Amino acid sequence: MKTLLIVWHSRTGAGRQMAEAAVAGAQAEREVAVRLLPAADTDAADVLAADGYLFACPENLASMSGEMKDFFDRTYYPCLERLNGRPYAALIAAGSDGEGAARQLARIATGWRLKAIAAPLIVGTHAQTPEAILAPKTLSEAQLAPCRELGAAMAAGLAMGVF
């Protein structure tokens, strides 16, 4: 059985909601085991044991969150040259455009030789004031539906051996 690992980080809830929506979509595929792990609790063994990845995090100050960066810092070298060709996709919660986090994550994935199966899915929260940025987020069904669809597509592709 193939395994899809969804690694997430969130301070205000948006990244977690996106990851959970992706899990809901992926679980429709019974041929794939889905693991949802917080970035702080994910290690190289978890990464090596998976066949595909979804990474979900917020963009903070034009880059991925520190907790997600810490996950990559801890796992990058132990996994280097051992993940070549495995599929991945990114889910990013952003107050503005999310492009900085998307570029940073893509550079790390390129180093791991992962294969992007979709453009980064960026959900804009439009939080621009300190109060709005720090406030708990509740994403709409319209914002979560693409996350669910990406989870389903990733699981289906793994099950069919497409990637």
Total of domains in the chain: 1
Segments forming the whole domain that contains residue 80: 2-160
pLDDT at 163 over 90: no
Residue from 48, 62, 49, 64 nearest 15 by CA: 64
CATH value at residue 66: 3.40.50.360
**Cα 35 from chain centroid?**
12
Query: For 85, phi and psi rounded to 5 degrees?
Result: 85, -5
For the chain, the average pLDDT equals 97
The pLDDT tens digits for 20-29 are 999 999 999 9
The pLDDT tens digits for 75-125 are 999 999 999 999 999 999 999 899 999 999 999 999 999 999 999 999 999
Paired sense of beta strands 121-124 and 63-64, if any:
unpaired
Query: How many angstroms separate the CA atoms of 87 and 155, rounded?
Result: 11
DSSP line for 86-137: -EEEEEEEESS--HHHHHHHHHHHHHTT-EE-S--EEEE----SHHHHHS--
For the chain, the straight-line distance linking the first and the last C-alpha, in angstroms and rounded, comes to 14
Total-model pTM: 0.97
- pLDDT, mean of residues 33-59: 98
Residue from 55, 66, 44, 58 nearest 89 by CA: 55
Residue from 41, 8, 6 nearest 25 by CA: 6
